[in-house]
Chain A
């Protein structure tokens, strides 16, 4: 197992001395063999804190996280002075929310090769990777010469994702990657993650508020609520559960409309549709 959480708790202590439990007794396993996971839950439910544990950006207050064989626990630096956490950040690539704010170099090329060079990749090789990866994220090579600051929001996001991909992580974690994008930009990015997942066989973990994304793309969904992992499993199973409201989650639009039609037409639809064509066929059948 690439990542394993065992009884992980995490507590923030703020400046005035008060504390806040962001993670409560988390147990979780994630493989690096091609999972497509979405992580959902209200703002403040602990999603971002959870993923920051996946490459040791933060350490548990208690319990332990094992990432690629390295055990991470609260006082790891005291007990083991020689432990190197840096390599984990190459294995598990984390793309923060609004990664476009983190672009800083003169050219797109320099921005993309910054990460790999930090992990000891030779400049010439890093440049070769950049040329490949810029195409993978749906931009052409001419972008490498441009300034990252003159790009559109969607293009900037792609460049910052390219910078993480250039480090060749096995697991790619993205914190609300489509927030602020229009539907076209959102779908294009999600298709990109799907192709990274399919073609490079990488595990992709996406934090999102969009239930349509969960239903359409994910093979597994994790739900956080008030610091607890309250669901881990198949998205369809999640959306047929009754406690969605307790966790402040919506239904995907297609299921919402299906339920409303069941109600108004006084019918029962057993197999939930995945898209509007399937719903159309169901409706046609009952009219």
Chain B
């Protein structure tokens, strides 16, 4: 079953400069899809359209059977949580626990239930010892974990991570990737927006956006095998993949090395 269907979506901020043109995308319930592209490729705009922060010029977005419009937008937002790029731009609470509670308050959860959930999800992201702390004293990675706890507590079916790791150090980044995997394993539909192919290889499917258009969409393995498309995407290729392509171009027929490089590309 498709939990998100996007049909022929177009959007522009300025009249003659389309940011997205004719985007089509179907995401199944429980899938993890990466949206991969450069700065300015339209990937963050796409996420803002899906949650109704921007209004499309043309096309349709259906979330869990609901066609997104002015009337359904609030109901659609109950189904989707989003974690943004900059951890400093998403804090409203005075303490970590206030912050985790914020989303639930908007959804009118009972107080008892909220207290239970704050504890449960803070523990899940290993931030239970920081509940009374002020968010601005945390590291970037810790802030993103608090943001994730707040979203998880809202119990949405879909979570979008909009370059949620790009401002973190390597350790913080690995931790967030672990949580994303775990959340997806538990059945949440996940969309990660990134320019890092190393992150995208963990997802089930990859959508590559280039200058507002869908360059490719498919299973991660198929996308990584599609040398021509990847080369035209201007994305930074994974190093083992680059080496694999070079070996293929040089007609070196050594299956062992090819297999090794393929595994390394998939980070296995």
By a beta-carbon cutoff of 8 Å, the part of chain A in contact with chain B is: 42-44, 152-154, 179-185, 209, 248, 250, 253-254, 257, 260-261, 264-265, 276-277, 279-280, 283-284, 287
Contacts and interface: CB of A to CB of B under 8 A. Distances in A.
A280 B243 contact: yes
B38 A182 contact: yes
Interface residues on B, range: 20 to 34
B240 interface: yes
Nearest to A279: B243
Nearest to B38: A182
B69 interface: no
The list of the 8 closest CB pairs from A to B, nearest first, reads A183-B236, A182-B195, A209-B169, A182-B39, A280-B246, A253-B239, A43-B169, A264-B260
A42 B264 contact: no
A250 B260 contact: no
A154 B167 CA distance: 14
Contacts of B86: 180
B243 A152 contact: no
Interface in B87-119: none
Nearest to A14: B137
Given A152-B39, A248-B171, 12 more contacts: A43-B141, A152-B40, A180-B167, A182-B195, A183-B236, A257-B240, A257-B264, A264-B260, A280-B247, A280-B250, A283-B257, A287-B257
A284 B139 contact: no
A183 to B, nearest CB: 4
A276 B140 CA distance: 32
B234 interface: yes
Contacts, number: 68
20 contacts: A42-B169, A42-B171, A43-B140, A43-B141, A43-B171, A184-B39, A209-B169, A209-B170, A254-B239, A257-B240, A260-B260, A265-B260, A276-B239, A276-B243, A280-B246, A283-B243, A283-B247, A284-B247, A284-B252, A287-B254
A264 B23 CA distance: 42
Nearest to A261: B260
B195 A183 contact: yes
Nearest to B86: A180
Interface string B158-192: 00000100110111100000000000000000000
B7 interface: no
Nearest to A209: B169
A157 B165 CA distance: 19
Contacts of B202: none
A153 B172 CA distance: 22
Contacts of B250: 280, 284
B85 interface: yes
A209 B170 CA distance: 7
Nearest to B260: A264
Contacts of A248: 171
B79 interface: no
Interface in B223-254: 234-236, 239-240, 242-243, 246-247, 250, 252, 254
